[in-house]
Amino acid sequence: MELLTRAIAHPWLCDMMGHLTTRYYVGMFDDASYVLLSRSTGWSGDDPAWAGLGWADVRNEIEYKDEVPAGALVEIFGSVAKVGNSSLETRYEMRRASSGVLAATLAAKTVFFDLEQRKAKPLTEAMRKGIERFSI
């Protein structure tokens, strides 16, 4: 797995018990997913060459393993687990940076998507070649 991003569990991202709340786990994993998609496939949301093309999440499964208290620095690692015709199955781990303790995991399925036609689009050979470097 490759380090994709780091984040801080600021107090305003935490629930009334002082721990990172669910909505922000999702956001942190989402940020990491775009880094993985960009690094592995070459896709970039601000590159005109990719205009009209993007990604659609079709499944996300989060498992919470350990609490993330206010002030904790977390690191999110990820890799590609499986490649389909137009989709990727990815895995992510959120770890406490101070201890390496596993805080949460995400298993996701994401589809390469034609944003104008609103349908799946096959991955290109160039994308597949890049994905190989990030596969487990």
Q: How far apart are CA 43 and CA 50, in angstroms?
A: 7
Taken in order of first residue, the domains within the chain and their CATH numbers are: 2-132 (3.10.129.10)
Could you tell me the pTM of the whole model?
A: 0.92
Task: List alpha helices for 13-104, DSSP H.
Answer: 22-41
Q: How far apart are CA 74 and CA 59, in angstroms?
A: 23
Task: List alpha helices for the chain, DSSP H.
Answer: 22-41, 125-132
Query: Residues 35-94: pLDDT tens digits?
Result: 999 999 999 989 998 999 999 999 999 999 999 999 999 999 999 999 999 999 999 999
Take residue 103 and report the two structure tokens written for it. Answer: 């805080």
